[in-house]
């Protein structure tokens, strides 16, 4: 059990007048305990109470040591886990439940206990996870360094004119060679007109043609922490419009990064990138938010968008990834991860961003 992180959660519970909560998200349980369990369809619950020792309810097929830092309650496949959990829930008080607990468990518990009310406690946990401690910051740096190396290796393979799908397979092998566990998300490797779809699904039929832009949006998972980075390069040549668009996106990326510091609102960072692109008449082609928070999950709470008026804080890590996309033609996106420091930010990605023509 990570006592410092647990203390922060318990303190937030007290501040919000909440005496008990159910955490079911495997990544949050890992964040607090150092133990990762993927329960599949089985119930996994960490029950926290302000004045009691934590309790972990877990199927007996998942071995948990006695020195886990919580009281472990195991159940078998022939037993009813809700019937085992419910006697440990205090009635007539609030019960916090996180946003990912399946309805098949929550609804049944609602019929078996008489709590004052059920409350979504994800904002409490998310706000704590958003501010990375020093151990997490270093893990994110390591994951990003691996991603830098992988980007260099994958770009070097592009002149072979493999399909997008083949390049993704090479990327997975590259991550494994570099010591990562695998993808943090399905990579986006998009040739030419495919790059006009911000979330293009890498396919097995597309191959490179002269003049194609190539969007490479990739990330790995290392020691549970995620990396994410996008670079756009061109095959053999780039025409005048492609060069212009590339430089505008690069400037938007850099200007947004320059605004990052504690106290600046997420929406203001988004506006910096968006206004720069709009100034050149391409605002309608920037079709997504400027970024997302990242850590144990590749997308965490706290997006860089016009809708998020919250200020950024030291320890937060999120992406800056403006883009311009012309349907049926090409797209350009440039993405870096930034770590908010006491007076600015640290860019975690170091692979070059100068316009690059390969092949």
Reported as a single tens digit per residue, the pLDDT across 179-190 is: 999 999 999 999
Residues 31 and 144 in one domain: no
Instruction: Please give the tally of structural domains in the chain.
Output: 2
Say what percent of the chain tops pLDDT 90.
Answer: 97
Quick one: 161 and 61 in the same domain? no
CATH code of the domain containing 97: 3.40.350.10
Query: Both 78 and 99 in a single domain?
Result: yes
Per-residue pLDDT tens for 269-326?
A: 999 999 999 999 999 999 999 999 999 999 999 999 999 999 999 999 999 999 999 9
Please say whether the beta carbons of 118 and 21 come within 8 A.
no
pLDDT score of 257 more than 80: yes
User: Cα–Cα distance between 209 and 31 in angstroms, integer?
Assistant: 45
For residue 20, what is the enclosing H or E element?
strand 20-23
pTM: 0.96
Domain extent, residue 178, equals 131-358
Q: Which is it for strands 317-320 and 336-340: parallel, antiparallel or unpaired?
A: antiparallel
Query: Are 151 and 186 contained in the same domain?
Result: yes
Closest by Cα among 157, 182, 144 to 294: 144
Which pLDDT band, with edges at 50, 70 and 90, does 66 fall under?
low
Kind and range of the H or E run holding 332: strand 330-333
pLDDT the model gives residue 67? 72
CATH of the domain at 226: 3.90.230.10
Mean pLDDT of the chain, nearest integer? 97
Span 73-82, pLDDT tens digits: 999 999 999 9
Over residues 210-222, the mean pLDDT reads: 98
Phi, psi (rounded to 5 degrees) for 217? -115, 105
Last residue of a domain, one of 74, 98, 129: 129
């Amino acid at each position: 059990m990570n006592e410092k992180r647990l203390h922060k959660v318990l303190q937030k519970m007290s501040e919000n007048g909440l005496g008990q909560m159910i955490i079911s998200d495997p990544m949050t349980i890992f964040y607090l305990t150092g133990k990762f369990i993927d329960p599949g369809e089985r119930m996994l619950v960490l029950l926290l109470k302000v004045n009691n020792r934590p309790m972990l309810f877990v199927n007996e097929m998942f071995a948990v040591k006695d020195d886990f830092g919580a009281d472990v309650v195991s159940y078998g496949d022939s037993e009813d886990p809700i019937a085992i959990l419910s006697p440990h829930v205090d009635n007539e008080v609030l019960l916090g439940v996180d946003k990912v607990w399946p309805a098949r468990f929550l609804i049944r518990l609602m019929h078996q206990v008489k709590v004052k009310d059920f409350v979504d406690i994800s904002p409490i946990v998310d706000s704590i996870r958003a501010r990375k401690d020093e151990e997490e910051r270093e893990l994110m740096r390591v994951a990003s360094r691996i991603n830098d190396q992988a980007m260099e290796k994958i770009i070097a393979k592009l002149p072979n004119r493999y399909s997008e799908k083949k390049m993704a397979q090479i990327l997975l092998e590259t991550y494994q060679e570099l010591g990562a566990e695998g993808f943090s998300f399905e990579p986006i490797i998009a040739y030419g007109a495919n790059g006009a779809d911000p979330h293009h699904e890498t396919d097995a039929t597309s191959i490179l043609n002269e003049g194609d832009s190539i969007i490479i949006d990739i990330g790995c998972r290392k020691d549970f922490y995620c990396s994410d980075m996008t670079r756009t390069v061109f095959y053999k040549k780039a025409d005048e419009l492609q060069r212009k668009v590339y430089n505008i996106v690069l400037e938007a990326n850099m200007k947004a990064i320059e605004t990052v510091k504690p106290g600046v609102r997420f929406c203001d960072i988004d506006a910096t990138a968006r206004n720069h692109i709009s100034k050149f008449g391409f605002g309608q082609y920037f079709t997504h938010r400027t970024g997302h928070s990242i850590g144990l999950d590749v997308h965490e709470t706290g997006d860089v968008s016009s809708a998020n008026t919250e200020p950024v804080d030291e320890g937060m890590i999120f992406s800056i990834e403006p883009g311009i996309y012309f349907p049926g033609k090409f797209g350009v996106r440039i993405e870096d991860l930034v770590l908010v420091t006491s007076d600015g930010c640290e860019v975690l990605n170091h692979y070059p961003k100068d316009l690059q023509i390969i092949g």
